[in-house]
Amino acid sequence: MSTASEIWLYGSAARGDTDGVSDVDVLVAGELDEARLARVPYPRSLLSVVRYDWEELDFMASYGSLFLHHVCLEGRPLLPRNDSRLAAILKALPPYGRAARELSSFTAVLDDVERSLCEDHAPAFELSVIATALRHSCILGCYGLGQPTFGRRSAFAVFLSQTGFEELIDEAQQLYEFRLYEDERAPAPFPASTEDVLTWLDRAREIIGAVEEALVGSD
């Protein structure tokens, strides 16, 4: 099987729903070939490049990596090869096998945020951490519901609308703007306070509980 590098597009550019703060998500499988990357038809300044070697990708595939499910669902090769090794990996991808571990990591993140409030802290940063954990929780929840989606806004919309949290969709999507703010890609959506952090800690724990239920229902 070929060990040559491959370059795949995924994310908003692959879905066709980019906006003013979108970057271009690119997966490099194998060695990073700068000459091939330079042929990608997007400005280099917009590329967000993730690279895994083939051994890493084979291991990720062994437990049905949710990231690889993401690429499988919406990705496409740039500079296609006839003997695509990644396409073969994606075709044989098993169900995701680390959902419980991932849920535990989200809860641990929230616990860390709560502990940080006892010391000097930056509410905007803490909200960005909560927002990131919450988005990935909703992505996992969508997978558990059999409605996989990986978009910045769509994961909130799909999962929260299906689990009784419809009233939080707009606020959750707005909350994620703190992640963009911390990445210097957008302004803060509102002045952050410790009270906001406490409110979202409670909400996030409830939503993660709903994710857990969705995953149990999918077994």
Mind listing the pLDDT tens digit for each residue in 48-78? 999 999 999 999 999 999 999 999 999 999 9
Per DSSP, the residues of 69-95 read: HHHHHH-EEES--TT-HHHHHHHTPPP
CA 32-37-57 angle, to 5 degrees, is: 40
Q: Beta strand pairing status for 47-52 and 24-29?
A: parallel
The pLDDT score that the predictor gives to residue 19 is 87
Extract the tokens encoding 144: 């558990």
- Amino acid identity of residue 19, one-letter, is D
Q: Which among 91, 115, 140 is the end of a domain?
A: 91
130 plus 210 within the same structural domain: yes
CA-closest candidate to residue 205, choices 104, 118, 119? 104
The pLDDT score that the predictor gives to residue 219 is 55
The residue segments making up the domain with residue 185 are 99-218
79 plus 108 within the same structural domain: no
The pLDDT score that the predictor gives to residue 175 is 98
17 plus 119 within the same structural domain: no
Extract the tokens encoding 106: 């989200």
60 plus 23 within the same structural domain: yes
Cα–Cα distance for residue pair 143/135, rounded to 1 Å: 12
The pLDDT score that the predictor gives to residue 123 is 97
Cα–Cα distance for residue pair 199/72, rounded to 1 Å: 36
The pLDDT score that the predictor gives to residue 100 is 92
**CATH number of the domain bearing residue 124:** 1.20.120
Cβ(75)–Cβ(10) under 8 Å? yes
Is residue 162, in this structure, part of any structural domain at all? yes
**CATH number of the domain bearing residue 51:** 3.30.460.10
Cα–Cα distance for residue pair 144/45, rounded to 1 Å: 35
Is residue 61, in this structure, part of any structural domain at all? yes
Is residue 1, in this structure, part of any structural domain at all? no
116 plus 174 within the same structural domain: yes
Residues of the chain whose pLDDT is less than 50?
none
86 plus 104 within the same structural domain: no
Q: Which among 40, 67, 91 is the end of a domain?
A: 91
Distances (CA, A) of 129 to 122, 191, 192, 216: 11, 16, 13, 26
